Chain A
Amino acid sequence: MTITTTTTTTTRSALAGLLSAVAALTIHTVYAASPDDDPNQNARWQDFKQGTFKARPIDARADAVIKLEAPERAADAAVVPIAIRAQFAQTPARYIKKIYVFIDENPEPYAGSFEFAPESGLATLETRVRVEDYTYLRAIAETNDGRLYSAVRFVKASGGCSAPAGKDEAAAEASAGSVRLMTQGQTVLGQPQQVQLMVRHPNRTGMAMNQITRMYASAYFVRKVTVTFAGKPVMIANVNFSISENPNFRFYFVPRANGELKAQVEDTRNRHFENVVAISAQPVAAQTSSPRL
């Protein structure tokens, strides 16, 4: 009796395994995204659009608002550099207040959002994302008047064919949290200054299997980054594991006086990391005579 039950279960689970394997294969073969697909017809994008933006129109000709850059082919799907470039300077009258990043074929397509203010100077953002195979990648900009604009790119990414495997997860966790905040050159009063923020963090998806141990390390990632200058936010990121390991962000702020540039980082274990840099900005006139570092 017991034996019979066991046998049945085994057969069933084997059959289920086979069926799901066949299903996975079929999906991969038939539904792999192609650059010929109509980006508007993607079901996951449609769902997200309905849920987040409701019936609000999205202008797909966003060239005057944002431009999205991403490599057509990426050799390492785990680190795909993207640049979302604002096409006008932020002013209190007109500015980009939020940029959403959506990667259609990722297990969690919504990669997160980036909030900006007039103090950001320029709502341009560069970062690196994880991408699943062949996919559309989208940036949707929301301006302060509530209008939406989208820029779309198709990316063909390969799994990291030779990426180092079997990384020491414990060591990666132990070193997590160092935050580097850097500006390049002399900061000038009233002019957008680029900042680079680098966070040492494994930013694990929880979906990558170690090929040797056949185990999945749990998801562990940076979920929020808040950067302020003189106490006012210039960039707030609400993100997830679609951001690559060692999250890296380049963005801008405008100093109106000397002040502190501060980055606060929070991860999914509620660990908090921060870094502060004192910014001394020179007046425009002084800049030409001062030697650049």
Chain B
Amino acid sequence: MRASTAAGRVASAAGRYARALTLALTTLATWSGSSVLAQAEAADLPVPAPVAVAPGVYAMLGSGDPVAPANHGIVANNGFIGAMGVTVIDTGASYRYGRAMIDAIRKITPLPVRLVIITHQAPEFVFGASAFRDRDVPILAHRRTAELIEERCAICLKNLRQALGEEEMSGSRVTVPERTVEGTTRITVGGRDLELLHFGPASTPGDLAVLDSATGVLFAGGLVNMGRIPELRNEQIAGWLDTLDRLQTLDIRIVVPAFGPLANREDIQQTGAYLRSLDSSVRSAYAAGTGLTDAMKTVQTPKFRHWKMYAMTQPQNVQRLYLQLEKQ
């Protein structure tokens, strides 16, 4: 009951700001037409139209599908916030996406981009940052995220090139954030107070969730997935569950998850429910002496079968947790 009310609120807020968006687009049409090159580049990459989720807060929602040539790698969510300057949160899977994001922002506001925040190290979130660095926009992340990008993202980039092709990934490069934070930090950028929340290692060692204090919009980064099985890559389950519990206590009105549609605060625990179900079923299989190959085939989380990526990601997640149990 409560969930549906909150969902309604999200929908009506989106409707209200969609009208404002249309107006902004009309006003800025002439301006954006001035850069022929930029328009041509944006035109051949069908980026999601920014959705106004609250005053001055926009989300660009990817498909949530696996990265594939047909979707140009536009699968994850990202967005931007601004009053007197723009803060970008996550940057998509490629340099091209980063460029298209800049164009999309330009269509909504002429305000300068002041800061890019990378919420966590994952291929679908980091590579657009190169487009912002080319324009000298500072890039911020948790220290561990910056370190992991430096250590691992050359491999992620190679994987994306293989998945999407050289052309789609052209210009993309490993871009290490030069500004870092260690823990939860409050910053003021472009006239907005942003809380960068970090409660310890969770979906990755350096997760940040970004809370826009004025509107209660939370960009949850890798911590929250809606209707898509999270790909466990560098997680700590206990820390992740603890972080979700803490987020639950905050004054949050709308959640922009890593993947999937906009959500409300209560939906945060869906990710937690998946993690608990996965963790307990892998532990049972391991305790029963089931081998890894069999565990990957047989360990299921039935309530989450309808989530995207289930067939592909579930066995991989089982493998990750199984191997961790083996090391204990």
A159: B residues at CB distance < 8 A: 155, 158-159
Q: Distance (Å) between the CB of A164 and the closest chain B CB?
A: 7
Q: Distance (Å) between the CB of A199 and the closest chain B CB?
A: 12
Beta-carbon contacts of B17-30 to A below 8 Å, as 1s and 0s? 00000000000000
Determine if A126 is an interface residue (Cβ-Cβ < 8 Å): yes
B150: A residues at CB distance < 8 A: 211-212
Which of A77-85, A113-121, A231-239 lies at the binding interface? A77-85
Which of B82-90, B132-140, B288-296 lies at the binding interface? B288-296
In the bound assembly, the distance between CA atoms of A168 and B166 in angstroms comes to 34
Task: Check if B291 sits within 8 Å of A161, measured CB to CB.
Answer: no
Task: Using A32-B162, A160-B155, A161-B156 as known contacts, say yes or no to A81 and B326 having CB atoms under 8 A apart.
Answer: no
In the bound assembly, the distance between CA atoms of A179 and B326 in angstroms comes to 13
Beta-carbon contacts of B101-121 to A below 8 Å, as 1s and 0s? 000000000000000000001
Task: Using A162-B121, A162-B148 as known contacts, say yes or no to A83 and B291 having CB atoms under 8 A apart.
Answer: yes
Task: Check if A163 sits within 8 Å of B152, measured CB to CB.
Answer: yes
Determine if B151 is an interface residue (Cβ-Cβ < 8 Å): yes
Task: Using A158-B159, A159-B158, A162-B204 as known contacts, say yes or no to A211 and B152 having CB atoms under 8 A apart.
Answer: yes
Task: Check if A82 sits within 8 Å of B293, measured CB to CB.
Answer: yes
In the bound assembly, the distance between CA atoms of A74 and B312 in angstroms comes to 9
Task: Check if B204 sits within 8 Å of A71, measured CB to CB.
Answer: no
Task: Check if A161 sits within 8 Å of B296, measured CB to CB.
Answer: no
Task: Check if A81 sits within 8 Å of B233, measured CB to CB.
Answer: no
Beta-carbon contacts of B52-77 to A below 8 Å, as 1s and 0s? 00000000000000000000000000
Task: Using A126-B291, A185-B289 as known contacts, say yes or no to A248 and B122 having CB atoms under 8 A apart.
Answer: no
A250: B residues at CB distance < 8 A: 291
Determine if A272 is an interface residue (Cβ-Cβ < 8 Å): no
Q: Distance (Å) between the CB of A32 and the closest chain B CB?
A: 7
Which of B4-12, B208-216, B257-265, B315-323 lies at the binding interface? B315-323
Determine if B123 is an interface residue (Cβ-Cβ < 8 Å): yes
Task: Check if B234 sits within 8 Å of A164, measured CB to CB.
Answer: yes
Residues facing A in B215-267 (CB within 8 A) are 231, 233-234
Determine if B49 is an interface residue (Cβ-Cβ < 8 Å): no
Q: Give the total of B residues in contact with A, Cβ under 8 Å.
A: 32
Determine if A29 is an interface residue (Cβ-Cβ < 8 Å): yes
Nearest CB in chain A to that of B163: its residue: A158
B152: A residues at CB distance < 8 A: 160-163, 165, 211
Nearest CB in chain A to that of B316: its residue: A75
Determine if A266 is an interface residue (Cβ-Cβ < 8 Å): no
Beta-carbon contacts of B35-55 to A below 8 Å, as 1s and 0s? 000000000000000000000
Determine if B154 is an interface residue (Cβ-Cβ < 8 Å): yes
Residues facing B in A132-152 (CB within 8 A) are 133-134
Task: Check if A81 sits within 8 Å of B159, measured CB to CB.
Answer: no
Determine if A184 is an interface residue (Cβ-Cβ < 8 Å): yes
Q: Give the total of A residues in contact with B, Cβ under 8 Å.
A: 34
B292: A residues at CB distance < 8 A: 81, 126, 128, 248
B320: A residues at CB distance < 8 A: 75-76
Beta-carbon contacts of A151-194 to B below 8 Å, as 1s and 0s? 00000001111111110000000000000000011000000000
In the bound assembly, the distance between CA atoms of A69 and B159 in angstroms comes to 24
Q: Distance (Å) between the CB of B317 and the closest chain A CB?
A: 9
In the bound assembly, the distance between CA atoms of A164 and B144 in angstroms comes to 11
In the bound assembly, the distance between CA atoms of A71 and B162 in angstroms comes to 18
Task: Check if B233 sits within 8 Å of A75, measured CB to CB.
Answer: yes
Nearest CB in chain B to that of A183: its residue: B289
In the bound assembly, the distance between CA atoms of A126 and B320 in angstroms comes to 17
Task: Using A163-B152, A211-B154 as known contacts, say yes or no to A75 and B319 having CB atoms under 8 A apart.
Answer: yes
Beta-carbon contacts of A240-282 to B below 8 Å, as 1s and 0s? 0000001010100000000000000000000000000000000
B231: A residues at CB distance < 8 A: 75
B159: A residues at CB distance < 8 A: 158-159, 161
Q: Distance (Å) between the CB of B155 and the closest chain A CB?
A: 4
Task: Check if B319 sits within 8 Å of A161, measured CB to CB.
Answer: no
Q: List 20 A-B contacts (CB under 8 A).
A: A75-B233, A81-B292, A81-B293, A133-B162, A159-B155, A161-B122, A161-B152, A162-B122, A162-B148, A162-B204, A163-B152, A165-B152, A166-B151, A185-B289, A211-B151, A212-B150, A212-B151, A246-B327, A248-B292, A250-B291
Which residues in A have some Cβ–Cβ distance to B below 8 Å? 29, 32, 69, 71, 73-76, 79, 81-83, 126, 128, 133-134, 158-166, 184-185, 196, 198, 211-212, 246, 248, 250
Closest 5 CB pairs of A and B: A162-B233, A165-B151, A184-B289, A159-B155, A162-B234
Given contacts A73-B312, A126-B292, 8 further A-B contacts (CB under 8 A): A32-B162, A74-B316, A75-B233, A128-B292, A133-B162, A161-B122, A161-B156, A196-B291
